[in-house]
């Protein structure tokens, strides 16, 4: 008897639609990753904190930007790294970024974080990515995050106490409407780390909730 085929993850189609239809804003001809990647009061403190962390390391790190989006944030970080590997699931977005951003340290690649091998590096940046994914996809990614000495994670979470990790179907939406958010240290993920340090907690631009950035020291 033939085994049933594995059901494909919907993430790629959903993210392609986001950029094709400008569901997060931007001009008709642009790739735009939303206010969280463009609001100055949101972006600038993040950039400053991440650069300060890079400078605190003994050597410039090899950085893996997992879900790099339109690269409005990443472009400010490249010069502080030994190498910067930016990946995203949308091939058209990656092609656009390759044509737009140039640096000897910088590479772009199309990768499905939940199903492909992640690039090797010292620091993984995961900025407002997991919040769009189902728990099954997040778990697949978490299993690979153990390869990085440091993970800097940013998630959009409710203002008050919330029930973490209520499952969703992958897409442009997030858990906020269920009064939930991603917490990797909580079940079902139980991400085991040496230390967790909150770097930032800022109001999410134009919507409810906060953007919380946490530095995980994995080993």
105 phi and psi angles, rounded to 5 deg: -85, -10
- Strands, E, within 73-162: which ranges? 83-88, 106-110, 123-127, 150-157
pLDDT digits (tens, 9 = 90+) for 192-211: 999 999 999 999 998 899 99
pLDDT digits (tens, 9 = 90+) for 154-181: 999 999 999 999 999 988 689 999 999 9
- Please report, for the chain, the start and end positions of each structural domain, with discontinuous segments joined by +: 49-217
The model carries a pTM of 0.90
Nearest to 75 by CA among 53, 108, 26: 108
Cβ contacts of 75 within 8 Å, gap of 6 or more? 101
- Percent of the chain at pLDDT > 70 equals 86
* DSSP secondary structure letter of residue 67: T
- Fold category of 49-217 in CATH: Rossmann fold (3.40.50)
Above 70 in pLDDT, residue 78?
yes
Q: What string of H, E and C letters represents the secondary structure of 19-41?
A: HHCCCCCCCCCCCCCCHHHCCHH
Q: What pLDDT band is residue 10 in, cutting at 50, 70 and 90? A: low
Are 163 and 181 a contacting pair, CB within 8 Å?
no
For 63, the token pair is 């950085």
Q: d(Cα 87, Cα 110) in Å, to the nearest integer?
A: 6
Are 85 and 107 a contacting pair, CB within 8 Å?
yes
Which strand ranges, in their side-by-side order, compose the sheet holding 62-66? 106-110, 83-88, 62-66, 123-127, 150-157, 210-217, 195-203
pLDDT digits (tens, 9 = 90+) for 104-135: 999 999 999 999 999 999 999 999 999 999 99
Above 90 in pLDDT, residue 15?
no
Q: d(Cα 40, Cα 63) in Å, to the nearest integer?
A: 23
């Amino acid at each position: 008897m033939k085994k049933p085929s594995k059901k494909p993850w919907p993430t790629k189609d959903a993210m392609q639609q986001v950029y094709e239809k400008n569901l997060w804003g931007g001009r008709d001809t642009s790739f735009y990753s939303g206010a969280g990647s463009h609001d100055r009061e949101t972006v600038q403190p993040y950039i400053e904190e991440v650069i300060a962390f890079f400078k605190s390391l003994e050597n410039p790190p090899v950085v893996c930007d997992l879900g790099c989006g339109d690269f409005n944030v990443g472009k400010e970080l490249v010069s502080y790294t030994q190498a910067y590997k930016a990946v995203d699931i949308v091939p058209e977005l990656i092609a656009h970024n390759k044509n737009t951003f140039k640096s000897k340290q910088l590479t772009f690649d199309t990768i499905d974080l939940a199903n492909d091998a992640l690039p090797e590096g010292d620091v993984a940046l995961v900025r407002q990515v997991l919040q769009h994914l189902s728990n099954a996809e997040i778990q697949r990614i978490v299993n690979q995050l153990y390869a990085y000495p440091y993970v800097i994670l940013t998630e959009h979470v409710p203002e008050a106490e919330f029930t973490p990790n209520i499952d969703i179907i992958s897409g442009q939406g997030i858990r906020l409407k269920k009064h939930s958010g991603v917490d990797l240290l909580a079940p079902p993920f139980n991400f085991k780390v040496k230390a967790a340090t909150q770097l930032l907690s800022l109001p999410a631009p134009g919507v409810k909730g906060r953007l919380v950035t946490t530095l995980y020291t994995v080993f």
